[in-house]
Amino acid sequence: MPRAAGGGAVLAMPASRWGTTLRESVRHRVSRGARLMSRTQGGSGVAEEHAFAIDEVVLRRGDTTVLDRVSLRVPVGRCTALVGRSGSGKSTLLRVLTRLAEPDSGAVYYRGVPVAEWDVLELRRRVQLVAQNPVLLAGTAAEEVAVGAGALGEERIAELLGRVGLDAGLAGRETAALSGGEAQRLALARSLALEPDVLLLDEPTAALDSESATAIENAVRSLVRNNVTVLLVSHATEQVRRIADHAAVLVAGRVADSGPPGELTYLEETA
């Protein structure tokens, strides 16, 4: 995982010291967090203003507490970044949102309705999870774009490829022959084919060439402009600053800090 050497040294601190630091930090940031919430909630204080409202979610795997009372608001039509070291529970949180994983306790609301009350297939179509290393499922790029949405016309396929910065001429290519960056962008395109309201992106540009990374960032920005909600798991501090409106830092399964990316001191240490 790419991360600054200095950050690694900070993270190697014993858990007890972390605890103290976090408590202090959280206390001093609470007021700013509340201010941010009220802005995105429009002052009404109800969860409908958010795509996702996550309350006190706990998920244990064996003896490990993967998510430790995580609370988070994901505002509609914005890009929220979730940062933290690998193993801090970011990917698991994304899986909880689409019910691929079930929390042991806590509540998750999508559009103000508990996720368990949604038809799970509809929830997953509206909320597209793009995995960190997406597996391509079809023979050709065109079939791949249509694998979830069903039959799509040539024009629509070309348009979707264009939105992730891929050439329409790629449509006939064998998916097995694509580069990692092309595969990642194709996976995003097959999700966009479903016209989701929310995109959950798990490290979408990790280990990608800069052209692919830029194409994905551009696609994300354009989606957010069109009122699509994006929750982005990322290690790349610069990327988070470029495209996220809001960031939350997960440390050992807990939200240690949250706010506008520019104000988060934890960003450097964890990314």
Partner 1 sequence: MNGTELGWLEVGTSVLLVAVAVLVAAHQRLGLSKDVLLAAVRAFVQLVAVGMVLVVIFEHGGALGALGWVVLMVVIAGQVAGRRGKGVPRAKIIATVSVASGAGVALAVLLLLDVFPGRPSVIVPIGGMIVANSMQAVGLVLLRLAEHVDDSRAEIEARLSLGMDSAEAFGPHRRSAARAALLPAIDATKVVGLISLPGAMTGLILAGVDPLTAIRYQIVVMYMILGAAALAAAVAVHLGQRRLFDQAQRLRV
Query: Which residues of this protein are in contact with partner 1, per CB under 8 A?
Result: 98-102, 116, 120-122, 124-125, 128-131, 133-135, 137, 147-148, 187, 190-191, 194
β-strands 50-61, 64-75 pairing: antiparallel
How many CB atoms within 10 Å of residue 163?
18
Q: Which is nearer to partner 1, 1 or 120 (CB)?
A: 120
Kindly state the smallest distance separating residue 116's Cβ from partner 1, in Å: 8
Distance, CA of 215 to CA of 165 (rounded, Å): 5
Q: At which residue do the structure tokens 């920005």 appear?
A: 221
Kindly state the smallest distance separating residue 267's Cβ from partner 1, in Å: 28
Q: Which is nearer to partner 1, 129 or 247 (CB)?
A: 129
Residue 262: DSSP 8-state: G
Among 188, 215, 219, smallest CA distance to 201 is for 188
Q: Which is nearer to partner 1, 38 or 133 (CB)?
A: 133
Report the sign of the C-alpha dihedral through residues 89, 95, 98, 101, in that order.
negative
Kindly state the smallest distance separating residue 101's Cβ from partner 1, in Å: 8
Kindly state the smallest distance separating residue 200's Cβ from partner 1, in Å: 9
Q: Which is nearer to partner 1, 128 or 212 (CB)?
A: 128
Q: Which is nearer to partner 1, 161 or 264 (CB)?
A: 161
Kindly state the smallest distance separating residue 95's Cβ from partner 1, in Å: 8
Report the sign of the C-alpha dihedral through residues 244, 249, 253, 254, in that order.
negative
